[in-house]
Amino acid sequence: MIEEIFYFIQLLISITVHEFFHSWAADSLGDPTPRLAGRLTLNPLAHIDFFWTILLPILLRISGSPVVFGAAKPVPFNPHFLKDKKWGPFIIALAGPLSNFILAIVFSFSLKMLVYFNGGFLNSSLRIIALFLEVGVMVNVILGMFNLIPIPPLDGSKILYVFLSSSGRIQLAELERVGFVLVALFLFFAGETFWNVVEYVLSYLLPRSF
């Protein structure tokens, strides 16, 4: 039960930081839209979407899906305000997943230090802290890697966008109308493969035992 609670707390933290970094990147590049929309904040209430942030993770957890993820309300931005109109959207899109990988590394380092300075043996109180950090690593790796998948509306599609021709960009934008279906199909057909990749990354970030 406590692991479930930690999972959703970490998911809320990770999503909030993810969206904040999107907003911060846009604001830094000259677009005030996210700030004016109240999204340049670490207050999770500004980013929560009932379906994507709350209901979807619960449904995936209940269904036993190997990949449990969530999302927030998309951060609005206006590319016309950006100082660099070509690479600006790329940087904004990349900022979200990058923030999750940074968080994963911070949690991983904290967990390994906790284990190291206690000789690999943790009492019950320290185990609770270790579990919270472990879940934080897992959630952020899943969220960061999942968002890099180049399927609209995920960040990976916006990262890919800058490398496509004009016709390719139009086709990619049109796919956003059926983005949810494509994401569902990806999870159905490639969910296990994705999870295997996640586990491979986690094997380097998590201590073997504690």
Annotated active-site positions, please?
19
Alpha carbon 76 to chain centroid distance?
17
Instruction: Count the Cβ atoms, other than its own, within 10 Å of residue 91.
Output: 18
142 within 8 A of 199, measured Cβ to Cβ: no
Rounded CA gap, 160 and 127, in Å?
A: 41
Q: What are phi and psi of 107, to 5 degrees?
A: -65, -40
CA dihedral 193, 54, 129, 204 (to 10 degrees): 20
Rounded CA gap, 118 and 122, in Å?
A: 6
